[in-house]
Chains A and B, each alone.
Chain A
Amino acid sequence: MDDNLYKEIILDRYKNPQNFGEIEDVKQAEQANYLCGDKLKIYIKTDKDGVIEEAKFMGGGCAISMAAVDLLLDEIVGKKLSQVKKMKGEEIEKMLGMDLTPARKKCAYLGLEVIKKI
């Protein structure tokens, strides 16, 4: 494993997430990854056509899981929730611009898993 994992974008998103927060009275779901001690709750506001207008998250975890969810929420605004739910894990890796080891895939995919529960 090389140091590239902690690229500027990951660290920046981890330390200063852009989508951290709550939205009242909207669809939401949460999940904990007890193995690592991550907890994540995602709020999604959609319009009448199911298009995502706003997305936020609350929770705590490692840099990979937090940066991945923060970037993911950027990505999904303007898309249909039903489409987003069909996203694959590899797309997250593409978004992060790196390949992950099996152990870290779990971290990176946490956000998408939560969205799929909404």
Chain B
Amino acid sequence: MDIKSKFPIFKKYPDLAYLDNGATTLKPEIVLEKMNEYYREYSANIHRGIYGISERATEEYESARVKVARFIGAAPSEIIFTFGTTASINLVASGWADKNLKRGDEILVTEMEHHSNLVPWQNLAKKKGLKIKFLPLNGIFLDISDEVLKNLVNEKTKMMAMVQVSNVLGTVNPVKDIIEKVKKINPKIVVVVDGAQAVAHMPIKVKDLGADFYAFSGHKMYGPTGIGVLWGKKERLEETEPVNFGGGMIEEVTEEGFRMASIPFRFEGGTPPIGEAIGLGEAVDFIEELGWKDIMEQEINTYKYLEEKIGGLAEMMGEGTIKILVMKGAHPHDVAQILDTVGVCVRAGHHCAMPLHQKLGLMASTRVSLAVYNDKSDVDKLIGGIKKVNKIFVKED
């Protein structure tokens, strides 16, 4: 599959080995073209004008919603456009949980959460006197034994926030099983799943997962930045209060008050990122045209090759498309810097998961995260770079 040719960045940097897809993916030509078309040809506001280009903008924006809905097996009316995963989770925290949880209630999170699915809950807990409990790690997996769950989940547990694919370890959590298990103990638990690292790598059917809310970003699935999605079950969305009040989310306003627009529009107050939503719709098309079989095959081939090649060059941890490298004697910053000299982009730091790093006994790590355009040549460049790091830092003094 010649996938790199679909991404204009490789025209500028033909030898770029971009391995920081957990942070953001590169954007294919068709997504850029689609957004360009909006900005150049019909950049009117939506749901407003009785004129051609505004109607076209509305149509394209709503058609992006339909595509996203189909992509995750949901109804368009359950798709809320946000600014990204963080905004989506904050909408659940401020719009649903703040209203429905009371002092003494408990929120279950996991030890592998990205800060974006932890800090909103810590903030809410502080504000409302809630308790946060952590589902523990066992190696790179969550410990979901009956014993552990029985100790953590009770009638006070009102909410669970869980990542589907860890942004540090790549662990694919058995979200469906976990939700089944916790809801068996307490059927009233409302579950929000952070799907940011999942949506570009595996087919998702939100209804099969049994979750109540599902959040993800456009820019980690070949779409633009500034656009994200919150899916919510119809009943949950009906219980959710908007956080952005103003234009676009109302049906009628008088001096005495206002009536809200229907769902999902009431959650999209203000002019949304229209061009970006349309771009995200095109990113969905891009993924569907490649097809899950080929995408997954390509990614599996690449990470298997990496697992084979890394040998004893560095300690590697992680599942699937996300791995962290730990190199004795070389700080992650220095590793990333040296890799940059050979055209390899990786991430160094705590990857917005400080509690997880503490748990792993690491101050920071170097992360390699793959996407569909990565291939063996990228892995070869990475391996070459790692050898260079070893030569500079790890060689005998």
Residues of A at the B interface (CB closer than 8 Å) are: 1-3, 5-6, 11, 15-16, 34-39, 60-64, 104, 107
Contacts and interface: CB of A to CB of B under 8 A. Distances in A.
Given A15-B397, A37-B349, 4 more contacts: A35-B349, A36-B364, A37-B331, A63-B334
Given A36-B348, A36-B349, A37-B362, A3 B341 contact: yes
A34 B115 CA distance: 13
Interface residues of B, number: 20
B392 A6 contact: yes
A62 B350 contact: no
A63 B397 contact: no
B contacts with A: majority SS: helix
A99 to B, nearest CB: 14
Interface in B297-352: 330-334, 337-338, 340-341, 348-350
A100 to B, nearest CB: 10
A115 B359 CA distance: 30
Nearest to A12: B397
Interface of B: 330-334, 337-338, 340-341, 348-350, 354, 357, 362-364, 392-393, 397
A39 B362 CA distance: 12
Given A36-B364, A37-B350, A37-B363, A2 B341 contact: yes
Nearest to A6: B392
Given A61-B331, A63-B331, A64-B333, A35 B363 contact: no
Contacts of B392: 6, 11
A61 B364 CA distance: 10
B347 to A, nearest CB: 11
A5 B330 CA distance: 14
The 6 closest A-B pairs by CB, nearest first: A37-B363, A37-B364, A62-B331, A62-B333, A63-B334, A62-B334
A38 B364 CA distance: 9
Nearest to B363: A37
